[in-house]
Amino acid sequence: MSQFKLIMLSAMYENGGNTTHRLLDGHPELYVYPFESQVGTGAGSDSLSSVVPLRYRWPEFPSDVTPEQAYEMFWDEELKTLLRVPGRSKFKDCGLTMDEKKRKASFVKHCQGKPQNRATFVEAYYRSTFDAWENYNHTGEEKYHVGYNPAQGLDTDKIFADFPDAHVIHVVRNPYSGYSDTSKRPFPLSTKKYAWLWNWCQHYALTYQKKYAGNFHIVRFEDIVNDTKGTMEKLLNDMGLPFSENCLHASFNKTKLEEVYPWGTIRIPTSEVNISTANELNTEQKKEIQSESFIMQNALGYEGFLENHLS
């Protein structure tokens, strides 16, 4: 049986997934994927396909796929763009050094002698990344591989089917701040569509927290920025990991970042910025989000958030 240990991060758009990903980066026992994992492939389609981009889904593969083909099927846009056309990557100055040919060769090697299935390919995907990352700051204590995809929690059943001992972390942020940051994108969702997709993700998360008790964890972005040490200490403890002071600040390849951007839209993860971001919305937008998502807000401790925090 494989000894591969996986921690998968999930979050609705602009809910703090990238921030949490970067906070975990410094932990000595974690191999943290450099960018969004984007493990989705073009194979397979279901009821969520029209709502969530394929790159954010758990992968599917044809039964006759080869390891070489499987490697190419992983979406992995952010890392593959950096490796193939670095000048077009928003991470071109991050300093990562990797030979993609060596990564692919390592991927194929990790698949040898194993069932050619989804679990094998996902494990190879993560292991080969760190095999080929030439200037990765190894500690020698790494135990878990950590990935992150927006809305990945919607595929929690598939994740645990492949890796029963995995952990899934779902990060939730108040929908006002989340929508405010999302609306800055070139093609933002409408207020109502964002609120309903936010509802959907949180409903799944609350369901899976009960279904996979002890392995599915919900953490609020507000708790991360209000009490970083207490929140990260509890989260790590719940996964059987010791606390590390390195998880008190965002980092990349274990080097401290002054801001999370370009990893995420949230540049400075503080309570003050979180509230001011929400207050960039106009009164009509705030009221619409409140009316469309108040049930899930109440379920996650955001009851009265509009009245108590927003002007």
- Distance (Å, rounded) from C-alpha 141 to C-alpha 159? 24
The share of the chain scoring above pLDDT 90, in percent, equals 90
Average pLDDT rounded to a whole number, residues 183-210: 94
The average confidence (pLDDT) of the chain is: 95
- pLDDT bracket for residue 223 (50, 70, 90): very high
Average pLDDT rounded to a whole number, residues 255-283: 94
Average pLDDT rounded to a whole number, residues 149-168: 97
Lowest mean pLDDT among 4-13, 149-158, 261-270: 261-270
- Distance (Å, rounded) from C-alpha 160 to C-alpha 114? 19
Return the higher-pLDDT residue of 311 and 272: 272
| pLDDT per position as a tens digit, 51-65 | 899 999 999 999 999
Q: With 90 as the cut, is the pLDDT of residue 46 above it?
A: no
- Distance (Å, rounded) from C-alpha 10 to C-alpha 157? 13
Q: With 80 as the cut, is the pLDDT of residue 167 above it?
A: yes
Q: With 60 as the cut, is the pLDDT of residue 1 above it?
A: no
Residue of 234, 202, 220 lying closest to 299 (CA atoms) = 202
- pLDDT bracket for residue 227 (50, 70, 90): very high
- pLDDT bracket for residue 265 (50, 70, 90): confident
- Give 219's strand partners: 171
Residue of 112, 103, 105, 106 lying closest to 34 (CA atoms) = 103
What pLDDT is attached to residue 188? 86
Average pLDDT rounded to a whole number, residues 66-83: 98
- Distance (Å, rounded) from C-alpha 275 to C-alpha 288? 18
- pLDDT bracket for residue 186 (50, 70, 90): confident
| pLDDT per position as a tens digit, 8-41 | 999 999 999 999 999 999 999 999 999 999 999 9
Average pLDDT rounded to a whole number, residues 123-143: 97
- pLDDT bracket for residue 84 (50, 70, 90): very high
Return the higher-pLDDT residue of 145 and 267: 145
- Distance (Å, rounded) from C-alpha 51 to C-alpha 32? 27
Contact yes or no for 250/257 (Cβ under 8 A): yes
What pLDDT is attached to residue 48? 84
Q: With 60 as the cut, is the pLDDT of residue 157 above it?
A: yes
- pLDDT bracket for residue 107 (50, 70, 90): very high
Task: Name the CATH code of domain 6-309 (choices 2.30.130.40, 3.40.50.300, 3.40.630.190, 1.10.10.10).
Answer: 3.40.50.300
SS3 string of 121-167?
A: HHHHHHHHHHHHECCCCCCCCCCEEEEEEECHHHHHHHHHHHCCCCE
